[in-house]
């Protein structure tokens, strides 16, 4: 190949490279200003971004969680009673009030609760004057099958725990259903309180997310109740 032919060939190759470089540079500039749709999130999938709405969402979620946790604990106690097991947890919902105190106490805070002969609960208060308040608390609690108790001495109560009958189990399950409905009502009230406070626009992401939150916790209630009936 002559020098002239080589020079012409080199010039042709250079022109092709310049064309390609210019083409790709133009494409890159166009692409740089364009917005990719790959990262776009549909409106229905976007999270709440308003700080005030985020705080209210967290507040509502916390309250709904507390309501469901309470129901879960109550249903666990009901299941224990329905199966005939005798444990101190049978009295976990009892709260004792004293005239000069603003809040109620759990039994384990003012006494010991034990099991005797696998069929009796024994409460021994730390202070004698607490016993009458414990008796009142047991009466007010109206726990199915645990309404009768006997005073052993100035500090001790004995509660016989009978084997649950079919009727007793039905009463227990009816109690659980009532508590479950009360929990659903609480969840919906928390939902409405949040919407009232936020005054969100119709079809807003906030309304949608709060509704999803409510549905999730109501479904949790249904799951707990369904598990109890198995």
Encode pLDDT of 87-139 as tens digits: 998 898 899 999 988 889 999 999 999 999 989 999 999 999 999 999 999 99
Q: What is the DSSP letter of 164?
A: P
Q: Confidence band (pLDDT; 50, 70, 90) for 33?
A: very low
Distances in Å between the Cα of 63 and the Cα atoms of 10, 57, 111, 121, 169 are: 77, 10, 30, 33, 30
- pLDDT value, residue 35: 44
- pLDDT value, residue 158: 96
Q: Output the average pLDDT for the chain.
A: 83
Q: Full-prediction pTM beyond 0.85?
A: no
| Separation of alpha carbons 158 and 121, rounded Å | 6
Q: Confidence band (pLDDT; 50, 70, 90) for 45?
A: low
Task: Between 102 and 60, name the one with better pLDDT.
Answer: 60
Domains of the chain as residue ranges with CATH: 51-84+164-230 (1.10.132.20), 85-162 (3.30.1360.40)
- Tokens at residue 93, please? 């919902």
């Amino acid at each position: 190949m002559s020098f002239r032919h080589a020079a012409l060939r080199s010039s042709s190759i250079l022109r092709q490279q310049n064309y390609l470089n210019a083409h790709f540079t133009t494409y890159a500039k166009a692409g740089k200003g364009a917005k990719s749709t790959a990262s776009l999130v549909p409106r229905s999938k976007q999270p709440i971004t308003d700080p005030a709405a985020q705080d209210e969402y967290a507040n509502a979620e916390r309250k709904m969680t507390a309501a469901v946790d309470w129901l879960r604990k109550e249903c666990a106690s009901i299941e224990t009673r329905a199966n005939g097991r005798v444990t101190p947890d049978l009295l976990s919902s009892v709260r004792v009030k004293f005239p000069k105190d603003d809040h109620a106490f759990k039994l384990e805070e003012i006494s010991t609760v034990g099991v005797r002969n696998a069929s009796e609960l024994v409460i021994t208060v730390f202070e004698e004057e607490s016993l009458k308040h414990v008796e009142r608390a047991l009466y007010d609690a109206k726990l199915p099958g645990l309404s009768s108790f006997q005073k052993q001495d100035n500090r001790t109560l004995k509660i016989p725990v009978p084997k649950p009958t079919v009727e007793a189990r039905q009463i227990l399950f009816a109690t659980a259903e009532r508590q479950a409905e009360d929990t659903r009502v609480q969840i919906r009230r928390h939902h409405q309180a949040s919407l009232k406070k936020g005054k969100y626009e119709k079809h807003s992401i906030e309304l949608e997310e709060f509704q999803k939150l409510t549905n999730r916790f109501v479904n949790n209630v249904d799951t707990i109740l369904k598990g109890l009936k198995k």
